Structure 1
Amino acid sequence: MNDLSPKNRILLVFNSATGQPGRLGTVMRRYGFEFDIRRPGEGDPLPTDLGKYHLVVVFGGPMSANDDHLDNVRAIMNWLPHVVASDAMYLGICLGAQMMARHLGADVVPHPEGMTEIGYYPVQATEAGEHLFPDELMVYHWHSEGFGIPDGAELVATGPTFPHQAYHIDERIWGIQFHPEVDDEAHERWLSNAADKTDRPNAQCPDTQRAGRAKYDAAFGAWFERFAETVLLKNRMACDVGQSS
């Protein structure tokens, strides 16, 4: 890759020892990206020079964005200022979105009535998100806390239980409360490892989740393909066009 070519690396930051890029990896590989995987909870350092990355993705995890006593949470929260100061795009998924929201001054708190979203639930576009979301989309969730909207951010998707579902800042920093990376393998692994959590308020049992996957996953996956092309690849495609002209 010469100095003028578009960046083709994505930094993937996992909050667990077993997390995988799943559908996100499948989609982004098709566009020629390579992955640099870091797991700060396992001792991996987080790079402070982000100039060689097109995109930084921070995935979810079972902990809270407020758990500063945990190595991975503390490491990521201390590192996020480098992301904000860089030119790299950022996608926070669930916990990753909550961490960025917290870093930017918003609260991350449980639902006031103790509700969760574990399974398939609807999200709706806000007026600002009509070009990104259909009127309603069934997406996969696994969370018990939600994020506030940081100053300067724009809410682009909402939902009936947790009203803040997706935000962006300057079309560079994106946070989504749900999990487009979860493919069939990841879903079964999560159900196997944490089925005991599916009896929480508003959570769906494993059989209901599997039925939801059969009914909704194809449309959810197609949405993420469009989102990747429209949002995550936007600057890279502009660079490609500029170099070919």
Structure 2
Amino acid sequence: MHIHYIIHAPFEKLGTIESWINKNQFSVSGTHVYRGEDLPAVEDFDFLIIMGGPQSALMLEKFPYLQAEVDLIQSAIAANKAILGICLGAQLLGIALGAKAEPSPHREIGVYPVEATPEASSDPLFKQFPGQFDVMHWHSDMPGLPDKAVLLAKSAGCPRQAFRYGDRVYGFQFHLELTPENIKEMVRHCQNELSPGKYVQKSEELIRSDLSGINLKMHKALDHLADCMQAGKSVR
């Protein structure tokens, strides 16, 4: 199986996704769109991962490569590829499915819980998670909920934290992939986003966060999507 990832900023990394790829010995390629690199053809990958970034999905016209990503996501959905959109990637996934991104009711930065929706209990991935569990947040916007998508998680600060479309397409507004090293990089580069807020932790708290259990959930999610792709299941 071949995985392709899209990265939006030099300080944004794959985090624990990289260790999962290495453990499974999958082939991998990536596009750093902020460098002007070209996106792949849809036939060149099996599993597409769209990472977060400082750009806003509310301003596609300011970042033309984001619209190109939306077009690629649409082609990947039509081709029954496995897709995971994280943070900005989840918002772009929602746009590709016809739902507009919106400002989140609250800016969320730090480790805070999300709550599973009733529909999550029958989701093949989310039924493996508790009804409430901690994740890492770093966002001001949120995805829209596309038609025929299933809302799987929400939080006190944001009503749309995770959704599924079909059986192999997921959007996570939150982060499961970030490692302590990633957090240090984001704190260094994004200090301007850490102004006080109801759901914003201080940089010292962020750096001390225990992310081990959160990272394990990332691996479970990736395992599930890889299994879906390898089993050749069709989108519902």
TM-score by length of 2: 0.88
AA matched with 2:129:
F
| Distance of 1:204 and 1:135 partners within structure 2 | 23
Structure 1: runs of 5+ lacking an equivalent = 1-7, 240-245
SS at 2:43's partner residue?
coil
**2:3 counterpart SS class:** strand
Would the aligned equivalents of 2:91 and 2:143 in 1 still touch at CA under 8 Å? yes
Q: Counterpart in 2 of 1:121?
A: 112
The runs of 4+ residues in structure 1 deviating greater than 3 Å are: 236-239
Q: 1:177 aligns with which of 173, 178, 181?
A: 173
> Which of 72, 79, 87 is residue 65 of structure 2 equivalent to?
72
Instruction: Give the alignment partner of residue 226 of structure 1, picking from 196, 217, 220.
Output: 220
Report SS of the residue matched to 1:21: coil
Q: State how many pairs are aligned.
A: 225
Instruction: Provide the rounded CA distance (Å) in 1 between the counterparts of 2:55 and 2:197.
Output: 18
**Shift, 1:236, TM fit:** 4.6
Contact 2:167 2:228 in 1 (8 A): no
Name 1:209's counterpart in structure 2: 206
Q: Distance in 2 between matches of 1:220 and 1:80?
A: 26
Q: How far is the alpha carbon of 1:47 from its aligned partner?
A: 1.8
Moved more, 19-28 or 89-98: 19-28
How do residues 16-35 of structure 1 correspond to structure 2 at under 5 angstroms?
Answer: 16-35=9-28
The code of the aligned residue for 1:63 comes to: Q
Question: How far did residue 72 of structure 1 move?
Answer: 2.9
* Structure 1 contact 41–71 (Cα < 8 Å) conserved: no
Which of 183, 188, 192 is the matching residue for 2:188?
192
1:137 pairs with 2:133: yes
Post-superposition CA distance 1:84-127 (Å, at most 9, x none): 21121000000000011022121211134xx2001111012122
Greater CA drift, 171-180 or 15-24? 15-24
Contact 2:11 2:186 in 1 (8 A): no
Aligned counterpart, 1:156:
152
Residues 46 and 59 (structure 1 numbering): CA distance in 2 closer, same or farther, change over 3 Å? same
Paired-residue identity, %:
27
Query: 2-side partners of 1:32 and 1:52: how far apart?
Result: 17
Give the unaligned 5+ runs of structure 2: 122-126
Whole-angstrom CA distance in 2 between matches of 1:87 and 1:134: 29
After superposing the two structures, state which structure 1 stretch, 17-26 or 178-187, moved more. Answer: 17-26
| TM-score (normalised: structure 1) | 0.85
- Computed over aligned residues only, the root mean square deviation of the Cα atoms, in angstroms, reads 1.7
* In structure 2, C-alpha distance between the alignment counterparts of 1:78 and 1:39, rounded to whole Å: 17
The answer as to 2:75 corresponding to 1:82 is: yes
Q: Paired residue for 2:100?
A: 107
Structure number with higher strand proportion: 2
Contact 1:125-1:158 within 8 A present in 2 as well: yes
1:18 offset after TM fit, Å? Answer: 3.8
